[in-house]
Amino acid sequence: MDRDKTKVRSFEVAELAQISRSTVSRALAGDPRISESTRARVRAAAAQLGYQPNLIARGLKNRSTGIVGVVVTDLNNPYHAQALQLLVGKLGARRLAPLVFVGDTAEGAESAIERLMSYQVDAVIALAAPFSGQIVRACRAGRKPLVLMNRHDGDEDVSVVSGDGVAAGAMAADHLIAQGARTFAYFAGDDSTSISLDRETGFAERLAENGFELSARLSSRYSHAHALDVAADLLRSGAQAIFCANDTLAFALMDAARGMTGGARRPLVVGYDNSALAGWPVYDLTSIDQNLEDMTSLTVETAHSMVAAPASPPRRHVISPHLVQRGSSINRPPKGTI
Amino acid sequence: MDRDKTKVRSFEVAELAQISRSTVSRALAGDPRISESTRARVRAAAAQLGYQPNLIARGLKNRSTGIVGVVVTDLNNPYHAQALQLLVGKLGARRLAPLVFVGDTAEGAESAIERLMSYQVDAVIALAAPFSGQIVRACRAGRKPLVLMNRHDGDEDVSVVSGDGVAAGAMAADHLIAQGARTFAYFAGDDSTSISLDRETGFAERLAENGFELSARLSSRYSHAHALDVAADLLRSGAQAIFCANDTLAFALMDAARGMTGGARRPLVVGYDNSALAGWPVYDLTSIDQNLEDMTSLTVETAHSMVAAPASPPRRHVISPHLVQRGSSINRPPKGTI
DNA sequence: GTGAAAGCGCTAACAG
DNA sequence: CTGTTAGCGCTTTCAC
C-alpha cells in the first residue's frame, strides 16, 4: 500500500509552480480570481509533470463523482447496444463517466443499483429496464436523479425520455392503409411496458379511425427462434398487413412467410427499431425509427441538468419517431427476394 | 454542499452498535480478530440502518477502487456487444465495477484512457481495440494492469487473451476441403490486427498442406454495405469455397451471390464469429465460434488476479475456437433458400 | 479484541 | 489575488 511514485499529485505541481495547492486547484478549475500569469504558470507545470487530478479524491471532497450509473438489460439486442454506445459517447462529451451494469433479472437489477449507490454516482440512467420499480425506489431513497429511457410506466416522479409509441402505431397504420391493405394484424412482444402497449393502441386506434380493425394479434418472446415458431399462426390469419413490435419479430415473420408452401400472398410488414439489418437486402424491411440519436442526447442532457440542479422537477420528453419505408411494405415482392 | 442526511456513514453504525468506527470497518471486512458477538451486533446495526460503505472513500484510502476500465470500439458489432455484456456480468460477479469508454478513434482512445486513469481504475480491459499502442503506453506509465482481449500485436509485456486465429483458419480449410471444394478464396476485413492476419495464414497454410492454394483474396471494410459492393468481384473469381474474416462479410457475400444473375453455382461459405444471425434460416451460415464465454471469463479472471497481485508477470491465453456447421458450407442449397 | 489517531488527494471556507 | 486550514468517509497502524 505504498504510494506510487509515478503518480503526480497537485502538491508536486504547486511546488514546481512555486504556489500553493489551493491555487493549483483554482487555476485548473478556471476560477476567475486567479491572475492569468499564475494560471499560465500552473498550466505549464501541470503539463510538464503530466498531472491528472485524482477524481476519486475530488469526488470524496465534492460529493460529486462525475460518474453516472447506466443500467442496461440485454446488449444482444442491437437496439440496446446502439443506445448504450450513443449514451457512453454523449456522456463522455459532458465529462461524465458511465458505470455500466446489466440488470436482466430482478436480483441483478437490485445488486446493480446497490453497487451504483456505493460508488456515489451522480445520476442513474436506466435503459428500457424491466424492474424499473426497484430502481425508482432505490434512487429516490438515495436521492439520486434518475432518467428512465424508453420506459414510462407509473406516474412516478422521475424524468423520462421515451419514444412516442402511439404515434409510431398510427404511422404504421397510415402507411399500411395507404399501401392498400384492408386486413391487419399485430405481432406483439412479451413485455407489458407501457411503451409497447402504446404502439399497439396507436395502431388499433388509427385503424379504427379509418374504419378498419385488428383482425389478429399474437405475442411472442423477443427472440427470433421463438417468434419463428409461432409466426405461422399469425400468417394463417390471412391478414394483408402486419405491424410488429420489433424488427426481430418482423424478421422472424418474414422468414416464416418465405418458408410457407404455396403461393399464398405475403403480407406487408412493418417493423420497429430500424435496426441495421432492416436495411439489408434480404429483409428490406420498412421500419419505424425511434430517433435514438435524439433520444440519447436528450437523456444525457436531462441527466446532466439534474446533476447540476438536483432540486429541479423531473422532466418528461417524448421523441417523435419516423417511418423508413422499404420494400417489405410495398405491394410487390421486396427486391431482396430471390 | 450540505451533507445528505439520508446517507448512512460507518459512524452511525458504530453509534448504534455501541462500538468504534474501526471495529465496524473490521467486522464488516471479516477481520478474524473481531469476536463473533460484536460482529453480529455490527451486522445487525448495519442492516437496520441500511449501511452501504462509500466505495469512493474506501478507494481513496485503499488506493484500490474496485473499478475496472473497459475500452470498447464498436457496440454496433454484435460480437463486441456480446463480449461487453459477458464482461460486465463476470466483473460484477467478482465485485468489480466496469467504467466503460468507447475508443473508436485515436483521440477517443486517448481521452478514454486518460479519464480511466483519473478515476484510478484498478485495471483496464481493452476489447479488440485498435490504437492499443496508446493504451499499452498509458497503462504502463500509470502502472495499471492491462488485459488485451483479442489483440496481441507486438510483443508487449501485457496480458492477452485471444482466440486462436491460426487454428480457426485451419479449421475452415479442413472443413471446406472435406466438403469437396478445390478452389478457395479469402474475404478479408480492413484491419491489420495480428489475429485477423492469423486467420488468413492458418487458412492458407492448411490449404497448402493439402496441395491447394488461395486463388483469390479481397478485402473490405467491416460494413455490410461496403462488403456487398465489392463482393461481386470475389464471386467472379469462381472459387468454390470462401472463408470470410467475419460473419458480416459472409452475409454480404451471400447476399451478393443471391443477387447475381444466372445459375452460377454458389460458393461454400464459412464465416467467423458465429453471431446470432448466422443461425437464422436466411443465412444458415457455417461459422467459427470463438468461445466468447471462455474468452471473457479468462479475461476477467486475468484482470482480477493482476489486481490482486500487481507484480505477477503478464499472462497470455489462447482460446481454441470451434466450427459450427450449417447449410452454407454444404454442397446443396442451404435450407433457408427459397 | 478494541479504540484513538492519522491520512489518502482534493477543494472550499476563511483569512489576509 | 493567494495561502492556511479543515475535512470528505474510510481503513489501518499503533497502542492498550
Asked if the Cβ–Cβ distance from A251 to B280 is below 8 Å, we say: yes
CA distances in angstroms from A207 to A167, A213, A324, listed in the order given: 13, 6, 20
By C1' distance from the Cα of A64, the closest nucleotide is: D8
Q: Could you tell me the distance in Å between the CA of residue B52 and the C1' of nucleotide D10?
A: 12
Distance CA A157, CA A136 (A): 9
Rounded to the nearest 5°, which phi and psi values hold at B160?
A: -140, 135
Average pLDDT over residues A6-29: 93
pLDDT at A335 over 70: no
Whether residue A336 is predicted with pLDDT greater than 60 in this model: the reply is no
- Band the pLDDT of A260: cuts 50, 70, 90: confident
Determine whether the distance from the CB of B217 to the nearest atom of strand D is below 7 Å: no
Distance CA B257, CA A193 (A): 41
CB contact, 8 Å: A260 with chain B?
no
Residue A90 clears pLDDT 60, i.e. is over it: yes
* Residue numbers of A between 111 and 150 with CB closer than 8 Å to B: 111-112, 114-115, 117-120, 141-143
Q: What is the pLDDT of residues A35-68, one digit of tens each?
A: 999 999 999 999 999 999 999 999 999 999 999 9
Residue A133's closest CA among A161, A113, A163, A162? A113
Check CB contact under 8 Å for A56 and B59: yes
pTM for this entry: 0.93
Residue A2 pLDDT more than 70? no
- pLDDT, one tens digit for every residue, chain B (338 residues): 556 667 899 999 999 999 999 999 999 999 999 999 999 999 999 999 999 999 999 999 999 999 999 999 999 989 999 999 999 999 999 999 999 999 888 888 889 999 999 999 999 999 987 778 889 999 999 999 999 998 876 666 789 999 999 999 999 999 999 999 999 999 999 877 778 889 999 999 999 999 999 999 999 998 999 999 999 999 998 899 999 999 999 999 999 998 876 556 789 999 999 999 999 999 999 999 999 999 999 999 999 999 988 788 899 999 999 999 999 999 765 444 44
Query: How far from B268 is each of A20, A95, B35, CA to CA, in Å?
Result: 71, 49, 69
**B26 CA: nearest nucleotide by C1':** D11
- Per-residue pLDDT tens for A230-251? 999 999 988 999 999 999 999 9
List the one residue out of A248, A199, A240, A247 whose CA is nearest residue A223: A248
B22 residue type, one letter: S
At B188 the three-state DSSP class reads: strand
